[in-house]
Amino acid sequence: MNRLMLINGPNLNLLGTREPGIYGSHTLQDVVAEVKHVTDDFGYDLEDYQSNHEGAMVDKIQEAGRTCSGIILNAAAYTHTSIAIRDAIASIPVPVIEVHISNIHTREEFRHHSMLASVCKAQIVGLGIKGYRYAALALLEK
């Protein structure tokens, strides 16, 4: 399957509109463009999806498990709380790379733990939106 899935979770639709000190001034559209450069270079299709709803993200992860060869996932606040998203990742046969724009480990204590990290192939944090590009490269480079 020459296809990657990019999933962004709650409030990331607001990227670039608020909190530039933490998340920078790039928009979600910029994030998608960043990843698409890489998938285009490798001759892959990219599907991008953003949702503010946990169950909808679970549905999308399950779908990607059937239709894609890898997932780039920023589950935003659900990273720290969602057993449902963790179980969805664990249930699919394709690699998932967890990305965070900010460094969750240097922020508030409640952001230090990821429910998802141990079922993901890797975690990329603190590199701004470039982290999404590195995740795509990691999934596509042989």
Just list the catalytic residues: 23, 100
CA atoms within 13 A on the CB side of 109: 0
Q: Which is nearer to ligand CA2, 61 or 101 (CB)?
A: 101
Residue 101 annotated as binding? yes
Burial tier of 78 (Cβ tally within 10 Å: 0-12, 13-18, 19+)? buried
Q: Which is nearer to ligand CA2, 11 or 69 (CB)?
A: 11
Binders of ligand CA2 in range 96-125 (CB under 6 A)? 100-102, 104, 111
Residue 48 annotated as binding? no
Given CA atoms 123, 125, 127, 132 in this order, what sign does their dihedral have? positive
15 belongs to the binding site for ligand CA2 (CB under 6 A): yes
Burial tier of 118 (Cβ tally within 10 Å: 0-12, 13-18, 19+)? exposed
Residue 105 annotated as binding? no
66 belongs to the binding site for ligand CA2 (CB under 6 A): no
Beta bridge partners of 7: 49, 73
Residues that bind ligand CA2 (CB under 6 A): 11-12, 14-15, 17-19, 23, 74, 76-77, 79, 100-102, 104, 111
